[in-house]
Structure 1
Amino acid sequence: MGWTDVLKPRLSVKYIFWALVTSYFSICILFRMPFFSSKLPAYTGPYKVGTIDIEAPVEKRNISEARFANGGKPAFELETVLFSLYYPANKDARSHRPHHHWISRPVGLHAEGYARFAHINNFFTNNLFTFSLWTLAGSTTIPAEVDVPLNGTIKGYRNYDKEHPLDDYGLPRHPVIVFSHGMASSRTSYTQYCAELASRGFVVAAIEHRDGSGPGSVIMSEGKVKHRFHINADQLDPSPETADFKVMQLAYRQAEIEETVRVLRQLNEGIGGDFYRSNPREEGKDLAEWRGRLIVDSMVISGHSYGATGALQALAGGPTYERPFVGAVILDPGKQSGPLNDDIHVPMIIIHSQSWSNSYSIFQGRPHFDVVKDIAVKNLDEHHKFTWFMTSIGTTHPSVTDAPLIEPLLLSWTTGATIEVREGVKQYVLATEDFMHFLSTEQRKGVLKEETTHPRYDEDIRDEDRKQHMDQEVAKYWQIHVAPTTACAAPGLCGVWPDRAGRPGS
């Protein structure tokens, strides 16, 4: 075979296949793209986004008396709280640190966790899962800049008189959202949603729950490293009933939420330098400059799936000092996560994916959709708090997560989502932003301006005139099941408005 044969090969099917494969891998390597997946996109808000991982010690305690059958160690011992902060950063912020990996290291830890979920935990499957994770998303990174200054940071601000009014420096204060992830997820499963909100001026604390609901997590405490895996009820002695097991997990999650609030308060008090020096994640060099920069007495709680169930629970009896939540963004509250709390006395928006609304499922002896709608109606009609319940058209349960962005074709095909993946996340972000705007300004905009369009899923009550005059972007992407009447558009007509700090009025 001569050089001419090499330079002018036959265009066989085999040749074309290998040429495409070689080109694909070459492009991935050249542009640092993960194999078989897409990069997470850049954020679209006016702010650059920073991120910091914080692991803070807590008062060591057992949330439950439950112990592992193998070894007898406590199953729900709280040692530290871990969360990722996403926040608006200085416009010219550039990090010298590498971007965070979407799959936290070690990858094998998460792979073994997923194998445990599937009840096929052994040497062969663990390595197979590890290879699969590396192949699909092992090199995927989160676009946020690591450990850069908070927007408007003035170097040395921490050295000023702590009693001096913050307004004298003209530094912005940022609303805070505490976010709780779902089952089989982690703090990095929703980075696009959290960071998009940060790019719009909000500080988001995405918690990593160590309640055994995630695939795996690394606990760094007192100089030691421990691995926490997924937990099944049958691993405990005595083995609890499923309902009791969920109570234990949700109690653990609430403790982590309260500890996250505690840390955020202390950052706002100006002791961020202490957290940086003790942070085993070795991030947060500018946290000392965060004094007075957070609105900590009126936070918002949010969560997806099991995290939404936990977020609802955290609202019971509130707002309190430990749980100062004056609003809630509830995304696909869980169908298999125990009863949903309806003791809520703050404004709230509940968003169902279309797959969550259009599937008929029995929950606590009733249709799940009806249970969720009744929670919204009770908060609106009995507790007189502004509440919305709606369905995001074209989405499925994973649409608010990063997974469809990383694997758009695979996830669309397997889940049946019809919305473009970036548009799916965008709609969740815009609705959340509209809700945060409402809490701070008392004004309804976007999807929150509309009244009920569909009392039940796919039951359209609009006449032709309303269909024509309704905001077409809202009509395209939303079905609204519960909403305050537009007669509530003026303060004092319906319910209780929050004051300027976001606290409930009187």
Structure 2
Amino acid sequence: MPLLHQLNPTPSFPSYTGRYKVGTVDVEIPVRELDSPSPAPSFSKLPTVAFRVFYPCQPDSEQKQVRWIPSPQREYIGAYARFLGANSAFSQFFSLVPQIVNYVSIPAHHNAELLEPTTHSKRWPVMIFSHGLGGSRNAYSHLVGSLASHGMVVIAPDHRDGSAPISFIHTPGEKEELTRVEYRKIAHKASTEVYQSRDEQLQIRMWELGLIHDAVVKMDQRIALSNVADDHKKHSGLTMFAHKLDVHEPGSIAFGGHSFGAATTVQFIKSVFYRNASDDPTYKPLFTPSDSSNIAKQITPTTPTVLLDLWGLPIQSPSTTWLKSQPMPAYHSLNGGRNILAILSEAFFKWSSNLQQTKAVVAKPANADPQQPGPHIFYPIASAHLSQSDFGILFPWLTTKVFGAKEPERVLKLNVRAILQVLRDSGVEVADTSVTDMEVREEDKKGVHDTRILSRNKDTVRGWISLSTEPEPEVKEPVSEGPADAVVEGEVLGQTVSREER
């Protein structure tokens, strides 16, 4: 087994580099205990909503770390192997050495006590981060855990729309009985059927985000909620978040996502903000929050928005063309765009049609005030789509061999640095970035801001390229001659796929 011989036999995560130790808790709440801001999709009967919380915890916490592959591990591993494709290098790894993957742990302390907020408001800032195809509440643990180590509470949903390799529902009142939600295989090439299927997934995802937002608000209000998650049966730790979360001030919560999760974030924010604005009879909204809902008050032009490798296809649906034509809510403010960060992997930068779609989403509208700064757009050189998830950092040899990705740990640090600085510029109080991560000497560090990471000047940060929103020259996209870069998320690794099919 030459492949396995060259792999690190015990994949592991590096330590988080923020000043705070990180805790994590798995949460699954019955839908009946939550107030949905928008009607549930008629075709979905999900009884619970699930997410993982990453947060700054007490420095003396000694609780065990949480397993990256959750229980039941055998089923998750099998689902990942099926998702990744029988002929892919990743699939071989998952199927041949499950005993190694079983023991990979997230370096966050399981059900640890929340640290008292050190911010001036005495509340921790909050972000909700949506996963992409093939993702889960654990799949971006290093990115969101790194943010938590800098003083954030990050909510990582487990979407049950068929976008995860597999997910499980604990039926309220019957904790030992699991209901499986299998991966839903949908083509990546645009068609009427594909748009309809992606619209259905977006409906579920946005409905879940609305419920999760309500759950987080209720957690802060100390409203009793049942947690039926498997690893939380003997704990009542949700009460520790009471009156410690900055979730009530309009625009205070940051929203982000990766790939399909980034598309979900765009649609969610726009759907809330423009909920009553359309008189277009062809527009069929996928999420319609009431004016009296908490989420309607939360989303404002000041909402920080993080889009990692935005996947454009789901937001091109004919049913939501009107919404697509509306600018991001940020441009209803003089500071428009300053709170928008889009980071592309080099693979997505080279995917010309998707790059143009990303630029169109985040760009200033034609009639924008010239004083508006516009968005931040970057890509790190030699990065792959999986570089923004845990896969790149856990399996660096594979991502290098298959996709040519380099320095996976540094690429994630660049992502974290940029996110933190956009949050600071949006008025969110987070801890300083370490001088090591900033790649400067202590004596060269100037204040708490990491201004270099958002500089648009060439070569300010090695391998970190700033992009404008100006359209790129149109080029014919060639058929890939090697393994496709995850076919949007990792679906058929090792298979030759044209860029048009992505």
What TM-score results when the alignment is normalised by the length of structure 2? 0.70
1:243 aligned partner: 195
SS in structure 2 at match of 1:77: coil
The Cα shift of 1:186 comes to 1.0
Q: Considering Cα pairs closer than 8 Å and 6+ residues apart, tell me whether 1 or 2 has the greater RCO.
A: 2
1:344 aligned partner: 328
Alignment of structure 1 residues 222-233 onto 2, 5 Å = 222=172, 223=174, 224-232=177-185
CA gap of 1:118–1:144, structure 2 versus 1, over 3 A, is: closer
Gap runs ≥5 in structure 1: 1-16, 25-33, 67-75, 121-126, 155-166, 361-366, 454-466, 484-506
1:152 is aligned to 2:112: no
CA gap of 1:387–1:219, structure 2 versus 1, over 3 A, is: same
Of residues 46, 53, 76 in structure 1, which corresponds to 2:26? 53
Of residues 247, 265, 270 in structure 2, which corresponds to 1:296? 247
Any conservation in 2 of the 1:212–1:231 contact (CA below 8 Å)?
Answer: yes
SS in structure 2 at match of 1:150: coil
One-letter amino acid of the counterpart of residue 407, structure 1? F
The Cα shift of 1:128 comes to 7.9
1:142 aligned partner: 106
One-letter amino acid of the counterpart of residue 308, structure 2? L
CA gap of 1:56–1:86, structure 2 versus 1, over 3 A, is: same
SS in structure 2 at match of 1:313: helix
CA gap of 1:285–1:328, structure 2 versus 1, over 3 A, is: same
The Cα shift of 1:215 comes to 0.5
CA gap of 1:58–1:201, structure 2 versus 1, over 3 A, is: same
SS in structure 2 at match of 1:337: helix
Any conservation in 1 of the 2:125–2:428 contact (CA below 8 Å)?
Answer: no
Structure having the higher strand fraction is 1
The Cα shift of 1:343 comes to 4.1
1:268 aligned partner: 220
How big is each residue's C-alpha offset from its partner over 1:443-496, in whole Å with a ceiling of 9 and x where there is no partner? Answer: 974256524x5xxxxxxxxxxxxx5xx6x3x2532323249xxxxxxxxxxxxx
1:253 is aligned to 2:205: yes
What is the CA–CA distance in structure 2 between the aligned matches of 1:214 and 1:193, rounded to whole Å? 18
CA gap of 1:379–1:388, structure 2 versus 1, over 3 A, is: farther
The Cα shift of 1:263 comes to 0.7
What is the CA–CA distance in structure 1 between the aligned matches of 2:97 and 2:373, rounded to whole Å? 44
Query: Percent of aligned positions with the same letter in both sequences?
Result: 25
How big is each residue's C-alpha offset from its partner over 1:111-142, in whole Å with a ceiling of 9 and x where there is no partner? Answer: 4434554687xxxxxx9886336155221011
| RMSD, matched Cα | 3.5
SS in structure 1 at match of 2:463: helix
1:9 aligned partner: none
One-letter amino acid of the counterpart of residue 191, structure 1? S
Any conservation in 1 of the 2:130–2:257 contact (CA below 8 Å)?
Answer: yes
Of residues 311, 319, 327 in structure 1, which corresponds to 2:304? 327
1:82 is aligned to 2:69: no
Any conservation in 2 of the 1:318–1:344 contact (CA below 8 Å)?
Answer: no
User: Larger radius of gyration, structure 1 or 2?
Assistant: 1
One-letter amino acid of the counterpart of residue 374, structure 1? A
What is the CA–CA distance in structure 1 between the aligned matches of 2:84 and 2:19, rounded to whole Å? 42
CA gap of 1:221–1:145, structure 2 versus 1, over 3 A, is: same
How big is each residue's C-alpha offset from its partner over 1:385-412, in whole Å with a ceiling of 9 and x where there is no partner? Answer: 7522222222111111111221111111
What is the CA–CA distance in structure 1 between the aligned matches of 2:398 and 2:454, rounded to whole Å? 35
The Cα shift of 1:172 comes to 2.4
How big is each residue's C-alpha offset from its partner over 1:50-108, in whole Å with a ceiling of 9 and x where there is no partner? Answer: 00000001139994455xxxxxxxxx32211111100011111221xx32211112233
What is the CA–CA distance in structure 2 between the aligned matches of 1:133 and 1:382, rounded to whole Å? 54
Alignment of structure 1 residues 111-130 onto 2, 5 Å = 111-114=77-80, 116-117=82-83
SS in structure 2 at match of 1:382: coil
SS in structure 2 at match of 1:391: strand
What is the CA–CA distance in structure 1 between the aligned matches of 2:199 and 2:77, rounded to whole Å? 26
Tell which deviates more after alignment, 132-141 or 403-412. Answer: 132-141
1:131 aligned partner: 95
SS in structure 1 at match of 2:215: helix
What is the CA–CA distance in structure 2 between the aligned matches of 1:368 and 1:200, rounded to whole Å? 32
Any conservation in 2 of the 1:233–1:241 contact (CA below 8 Å)?
Answer: no
1:446 is aligned to 2:448: no
How big is each residue's C-alpha offset from its partner over 1:347-386, in whole Å with a ceiling of 9 and x where there is no partner? Answer: 31111111110233xxxxxx22122112222369638575
What is the CA–CA distance in structure 2 between the aligned matches of 1:379 and 1:475, rounded to whole Å? 31
1:285 aligned partner: 236
What is the CA–CA distance in structure 2 between the aligned matches of 1:118 and 1:43, rounded to whole Å? 28
1:368 aligned partner: 354
One-letter amino acid of the counterpart of residue 450, structure 1? S
One-letter amino acid of the counterpart of residue 23, structure 2? G
Any conservation in 2 of the 1:216–1:228 contact (CA below 8 Å)?
Answer: yes
1:10 aligned partner: none
SS in structure 2 at match of 1:356: helix
CA gap of 1:90–1:141, structure 2 versus 1, over 3 A, is: same
What is the CA–CA distance in structure 1 between the aligned matches of 2:81 and 2:389, rounded to whole Å? 21
The Cα shift of 1:321 comes to 2.5
1:397 is aligned to 2:348: no
Any conservation in 2 of the 1:110–1:216 contact (CA below 8 Å)?
Answer: yes
Any conservation in 1 of the 2:392–2:408 contact (CA below 8 Å)?
Answer: yes
2:11 aligned partner: 38
Of residues 394, 415, 439 in structure 1, which corresponds to 2:403? 415
SS in structure 1 at match of 2:413: helix
2:276 aligned partner: none
One-letter amino acid of the counterpart of residue 294, structure 1? L
CA gap of 1:445–1:233, structure 2 versus 1, over 3 A, is: closer
What is the CA–CA distance in structure 1 between the aligned matches of 2:231 and 2:136, rounded to whole Å? 16
The Cα shift of 1:179 comes to 0.6
CA gap of 1:278–1:409, structure 2 versus 1, over 3 A, is: closer
Any conservation in 1 of the 2:17–2:146 contact (CA below 8 Å)?
Answer: yes
Q: Provide the aligned length of Structure 1 versus Structure 2.
A: 393
2:75 aligned partner: 109
